[in-house]
Amino acid sequence: MKIDELNRESEMIYSGHNACPGCGAALAVRYLTRALGTNLAVVLTASCWSIIAGMPPFTALKCPVLHCPFPSAGSVGSGLKRGLNAKGLQDTTVIVLAGDGGTFDIGLQSLSGAAQRNEDYIFVCYDNEAYMNTGMQSSSATPYGALTNTAPYPLFKEGQKKDIMQIMAAHGIPYAATATVAFPEDMEEKLKKAKEISGFRFIHILSPCPPGWGTESSDTIHLSRLAVATGFFPLYEVRNGVNWKMTVPTDEKRIPLNDYLSGQRRFKKMDEPRRQILQKEIDRDWESLMKRVNNSK
């Protein structure tokens, strides 16, 4: 996409927001809101975006933003959508925006409840793989072997990253998809599809965090692309929990995971055995995903 092809009129994010340079989450929201039109209302749970949105009366988004406590996003979104319906405002698209903490960890119960009820809104998780707003502490989205401030050297993060997409698919929701800022057309297309579907929709966006991951702000797009090419973060969609489909083809011979890890400070001290464990985990998850994709054909 060329820069002058962007439809700036429909962009819902103002310049001058509070995100760090190179923030994947700021870019992600820019792309996703562009796909959804202007009749939006955003529920924002405790996360980096609580800060990026600015201090009232200032605002970074050209639509109403309703802040809410950390575990509550899924439920507040449910109430807001049904409340707007009760007021005759059925046409407003409600987006719930949460980080990985507000999705994988403390927000999982309200997310699961809303998905089970098939609430009619779009839940967007921008996943920077740790509690970045509080200064990089481990979450259940932090990859195995990463260093965080609650898993400092020589501890390393234990346990595998929670597979949130399988969890959401298991709810049988009409639409779930992964996306990255390296593939904005893919993201936009998925959001457009999501907008046309009613019921619960879940978008999982990998969101590089330069200060947390220890990368250059100019690396965000490159890293997002490597995450896809290594199979660390494949791009796909799931319909009704059973119909799995790749949206951006990844070569079966994925490039080695080390190519993705090596540019990031959080993986710098990771030893070879740990790298192999993580590579195996990614290989296993890739094969499992391919089975689901092939079974859906």
Q: Which stretch binds another protein (CB under 8 A): 24-32, 113-121, 160-168, 247-255?
A: 113-121
Among 110, 140, 230, 279, binds another protein (CB under 8 A): 110
- 240 counts as binding another protein under rule CB under 8 A: no
Q: With respect to another protein, which residue has the nearer C-beta, 112 or 296?
A: 112
* Phi-psi map region of 237: left, alpha, beta (phi>0 left; psi -120 to 50 alpha): beta
- Comparing CA positions, the residue from 286, 287, 294, 158 lying closest to residue 232 is 286
Q: Shortest gap between Cβ of 111 and another protein (angstroms)?
A: 10
The secondary element (H helix, E strand) that includes residue 237 is: strand 236-239
133 binds another protein (CB under 8 A): no
The yes or no reply on residue 231 touching another protein (CB under 8 A) is no
| CB distance 211 to 265 below 8 Å | no
State in angstroms the smallest separation of the CB of 110 from another protein: 5
- How far apart are the two ends of the chain, measured CA to CA in Å? 30
Site for another protein contains 143 (CB under 8 A): no
DSSP code of residue 207: -
Shortest distance in whole angstroms from residue 236 CB to another protein:
28
Of 1, 2, 8, 86, the one binding another protein (CB under 8 A) is 86
Question: Could you say whether residue 16 binds another protein (CB under 8 A)?
Answer: no
> Strands 236-239 and 243-246, how do they pair?
antiparallel
> What is the C-alpha separation between 115 and 154, in angstroms, rounded?
38
Number of residues engaging another protein in binding (CB under 8 A): 48
- Residue 30: CB atoms within 10 A of its CB come to 17
| Dist CA 4 CA 134 (whole Å) | 36
- Quote the CA–CA distance of 184 and 277 in Å, as a whole number: 31
Q: Identify the residue among 81, 190, 201, 275 touching another protein (CB under 8 A).
A: 81
State which of residues 33, 75, 207, 279 lies at the interface with another protein (CB under 8 A). Answer: 75
- How near is the Cβ of 183 to another protein at its closest, in Å? 29
Window 22-61: contact mask with another protein (x via CB under 8 A)? ----------------xxxx-xx-----xx-xxxxxxxxx
By beta-carbon proximity to another protein, the closer residue of 118 and 258 is: 118
Q: Please tell me whether residue 107 binds another protein under the rule CB under 8 A.
A: no
The SS3 call for residue 61 is: strand
Token pair in block for residue 23:
């923030």
CA 173 to chain centre: 17
Interface with another protein by CB under 8 A: which range of 62-70, 141-149, 162-170, 234-242?
62-70
Q: β-strands 93-99, 122-127: how paired?
A: parallel
Chain contacts with another protein (rule: CB under 8 A): 38-41, 43-44, 50-51, 53-69, 71-72, 74-84, 86-87, 89, 92, 109-110, 112-113, 116-117
